[in-house]
Amino acid sequence: MAMNDVISLLISGLGLAGIYFLLASGLSLIYGLMRVLNLAHGAIFAVGGFVGWAALEYLPVEPDWLRFTAALVLATLAGAMLGILIEKGLLARLYGRPYAQMLLTLGLAFAMTAFLGGWLGHDPLTLKQPAWFDEVTVIAGSRVVNSRLVIVGIALILFLATVVFLRRSKHGLIIRAGVNNRSMVMALGINVSKSFTLLFVIGSGLAGLGGVLAGVFFGSVTPELGTQQLIFAFIVIIVGGLGSLEGTALAALVVAVLQQFVNYYGPPGAGDLVTVLLLAVMLLVRPRGLLGKVAA
C-alpha cells in the first residue's frame, strides 16, 4: 500500500462522503421530523446535476470559477423550488399519511427520471469543469486532483452551516426537538409544519447542490444518478442512526472511505458490496446505528 495512494484515496473518500452527506442528511431529517420518506430525493439530486451541467455548458459567464459558482447556486435553487412544489403542492394534501406520501414521491421519482431521460437521453453527459479542477496539487508527497479538494471544502462548509442552523436558529431548535418527540412539540402549541416546509426546502436544495458535486466527482451526470446514490444514502442513514445529523456525517465518512479503498484494492464492485456488509454487521451489533438514540 503506497502512501501516495492512501492519501489520494482518503481525499477521494472524503469527497464522496460529502456527496453522501448532502443526499442523506436531508432525507434523514425529513423522515425524522415528519415520517415522510421522500423517494423523490434522488430525482431532485439528479435534476441538480443536470442544472449544473446545463449551466456549465451554456452560461456565458467568465471566468470559469464564477460559472461553476453560478452552477452551484442555480442547482441549489432548482432543488429548493422542486422541494416547495412537492411539499406544498402534493405532500401537504396527504398530511398524516406517511405511506401514501412515500408512494406519491415514488411516483414522482419514476416520472422525473423518465422526464430527464426522455429529454436529455440516458447516456452520461460530461460536465465542463473549470480547467483548474483537473490539475493536481501535491499534498504530503501525493498527487490529489483539485476537484476532490473543492468537493471536500464545499461539503465541509455546508456541514458546518447545517449544524449551526440546527443548533442556533429557532427553526433548528424546533426541528431538533421535533425529531426527538414531535407530539410533545406540537402539544406545546408550536407549528411544526412550518419548520417542516423549511426543512424540506433546505434538504431539497442541498440535494440539488449535491447533484452538481456528484457530477464533478464522477465526471458526468445521468438521469439514474439519484437512484444509484440513494441506495448508499440509505446505508449511510441506517449506519449513522435515523434522524441524527452528526451520525449521518460520521457514517458518510466511514462508508465512503471504506468503499473507495476496497474498490481500489479489491476486485470490481467489491467496495460497493462491502458497504452492504458493513450495514449487515451494524444491524447485528448495534441496530440503532452509530449515533442513533432509539432503535430504527
Instruction: State the residues that interact with other proteins by CB under 8 A.
Output: 31, 35, 37, 39, 90, 93-94, 97-101, 103-104, 106-115, 117-120, 227, 230-231, 234-235, 237-238, 242, 267-270, 272-273, 275-276, 279-280, 283-284, 287, 294-296
Nearer to other proteins, 6 or 273 (CB): 273
CB 199 within 8 A of CB 250: no
Tell me the three state secondary structure of residue 136.
strand
CB of 288 to other proteins, least distance (A): 9
Q: What angle do CA 280, 286, 289 make, to 5 degrees?
A: 85
Length of the chain: 296
Nearer to other proteins, 4 or 193 (CB): 193
CB of 284 to other proteins, least distance (A): 6
Question: Each residue of 37-69: b (16+ CB within 10 Å) or e?
Answer: bbbbbbbbbbbbbbbbbbbbeeeeeeeeeebbe
Distance of closest approach, residue 209 Cβ to other proteins, in angstroms: 23
Q: What are the E-state strand segments in the chain?
A: 125-126, 136-139, 142-145, 220-221
Name the nearest CA neighbour of 111 among 187, 160, 34, 42.
Answer: 42
Q: How far is the CB of 83 from other proteins (least distance, A)?
A: 16
In whole angstroms, the minimum distance from the beta carbon of 285 to other proteins comes to 10
Q: Among residues 97 and 171, whose Cβ is nearest to other proteins?
A: 97
Residue 142 C-alpha cell reads as: 501525493
What does the alpha-carbon distance between residue 152 and residue 134 come to, in Å, rounded to a whole number?
15
Question: How far apart are CB 142 and other proteins at their closest, in Å?
Answer: 27
48 phi and psi angles, rounded to 5 deg: -55, -45
- Our CB check for other proteins shows the closer of 54 and 73 to be 54
Residue whose CB is less far from other proteins, 104 or 158: 104
Q: Is the peptide bond before 63 cis (omega within 30 degrees of 0)?
A: yes
Question: Shortest approach of other proteins to residue 90 CB, angstroms?
Answer: 7
Helix (H, G, I), strand (E, B) or coil at 144: strand
Q: Toward other proteins, which CB reaches closer, 163 or 273?
A: 273
Residue with cell 426546502: 201
Nearer to other proteins, 93 or 167 (CB): 93
Using DSSP, state whether 111 is helix, strand or coil.
helix
